[in-house]
């Protein structure tokens, strides 16, 4: 399979809603400073440390995947929604993405309310996010959910739906579009973009100070959509449009990595120390209803990867082609995750 050009931000697909060819555009920003040092911040949630070192250049989604982008994905592959990519609460919930499903199996179509089009998609599981990444990897094809569309590509899913099944899924060696690893996510959010240093901000708004939650125009800087003194923006929309805090990006130029919705990452967490049936996939960043503590670099969270929740969304990243990763692995520096003493 021919690889997309590194850091390309769009590929083409045919919409079932129209005979016109269009593209789902996922805008990205480069994250460089190869082999930067990890952060020494100790996680308040589990006592681990050493996050944020990445041995290769990659591109992080500038924004969370939006309701309109997710609706385009559904229109391409969910005419018959074999693996449950659509959740009815996307429409029925007051906090949903306001994506509406019409028709019957075999002829489903999807539309999104204009006021919600540029707000983050929610009610998406880790498996849903992996299938979106596969669709991007495969060039945004139109067709049934199968190996050529959603079930293979960056992740070999092949019908995986349960918690245990999704916990066994790993990034493929030839992956291109992916759910970020925890280190990729952390670096894009908090690293100061000042070379290969281990310098990190406390918040993904390029600040060590607690962000405000203003939606003033223009954005005064160091703001995010989270709960402090009231909701932003509040009912009936709840989540802000991606990039609304236009002067509050991370040093690499990502937006909303703090607040709005929690974002999936690839981490495998087992807080109970028990069997795989008790494990989770990683979340970072907090949501519109959380306090500022969940936006802090020291806050690590997780959830059942098969669950679709109102407070969870995602963003995707684009990683280098396999040849680059192979060369970097031969000469790169491996940092071991360690528990702080």
User: Using 50, 70 and 90 to split pLDDT, how confident is the model at 107?
Assistant: very high
Domain that holds residue 226: 1-327
- What integer pLDDT is reported at residue 321 of this predicted model? 55
Would residue 195 count as lying in a domain?
A: yes
CA atoms within a 13 Å half-sphere pointing along the CA-CB vector of 283? 27
Would residue 142 count as lying in a domain?
A: yes
- What integer pLDDT is reported at residue 260 of this predicted model? 97
**pLDDT > 60? residue 17:** no
> How far is the C-alpha of 205 from the C-alpha of 244, rounded, in Å?
13
At residue 137, the 3 state secondary structure works out as: helix
- What integer pLDDT is reported at residue 331 of this predicted model? 46
Would residue 338 count as lying in a domain?
A: no
Q: Which residues 6+ apart lie within 8 Å of 326 measured at CB?
A: none
On whether the pTM is more than 0.85, the answer is yes
Per cent of the chain over pLDDT 70 is 86
pLDDT in tens, 287-326: 999 999 999 999 999 999 999 999 999 999 999 855 455 4
Would residue 341 count as lying in a domain?
A: no
> How far is the C-alpha of 320 from the C-alpha of 47, rounded, in Å?
31
CA atoms within a 13 Å half-sphere pointing along the CA-CB vector of 52? 32
Would residue 337 count as lying in a domain?
A: no
**Domains contained in the chain, number:** 1
**pLDDT > 50? residue 148:** yes
User: Using 50, 70 and 90 to split pLDDT, how confident is the model at 274?
Assistant: low
CB-based contact 212:230 (threshold 8 Å): no
72: domain CATH number?
Answer: 3.90.1580.10
- What integer pLDDT is reported at residue 22 of this predicted model? 55
């Amino acid at each position: 399979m021919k690889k997309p050009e590194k850091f390309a931000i769009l590929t083409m697909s045919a919409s079932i809603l129209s005979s016109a060819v269009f593209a789902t555009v996922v805008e990205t920003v480069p994250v460089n400073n190869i082999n930067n040092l990890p952060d020494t911040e100790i996680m308040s949630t589990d006592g681990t440390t050493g996050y944020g070192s990445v041995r290769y250049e990659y591109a992080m989604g500038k924004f969370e995947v939006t309701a309109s982008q997710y609706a385009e994905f559904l229109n391409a592959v969910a005419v018959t929604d074999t693996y449950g990519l659509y959740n009815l609460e996307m429409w029925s919930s007051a906090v949903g993405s306001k994506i509406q499903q019409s028709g019957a199996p075999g002829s489903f179509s999807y539309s999104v309310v204009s006021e919600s089009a540029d707000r983050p998609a929610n009610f998406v599981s880790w498996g849903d996010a992996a299938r979106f990444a596969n669709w991007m990897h495969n060039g945004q094809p139109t067709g049934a959910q199968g190996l050529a569309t959603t079930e293979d590509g960056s992740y070999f899913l092949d019908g995986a739906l349960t918690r245990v099944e999704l916990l066994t899924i790993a990034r493929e060696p030839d992956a291109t579009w992916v759910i970020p690893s925890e280190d990729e996510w952390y670096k894009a959010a908090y690293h100061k973009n000042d070379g290969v240093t281990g310098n990190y901000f406390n918040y993904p708004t390029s600040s060590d100070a607690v962000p405000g939650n203003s939606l003033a125009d223009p954005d005064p800087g160091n703001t995010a959509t989270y709960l402090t003194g009231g909701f932003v923006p509040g009912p009936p929309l709840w989540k802000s449009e991606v990039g609304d805090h236009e002067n509050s990006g991370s040093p690499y130029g990502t937006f909303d990595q703090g607040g709005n919705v929690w974002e999936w990452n690839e981490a495998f967490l087992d807080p109970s120390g028990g069997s795989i049936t008790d494990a989770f996939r990683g979340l970072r960043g907090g949501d519109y209803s959380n306090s500022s503590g969940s936006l802090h670099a020291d806050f690590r969270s997780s959830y059942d990867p098969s669950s679709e929740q109102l407070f969870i969304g995602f963003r995707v990243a684009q990683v280098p082609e396999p040849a680059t990763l192979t060369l970097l692995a031969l000469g790169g520096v491996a940092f071991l995750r360690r528990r702080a003493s």
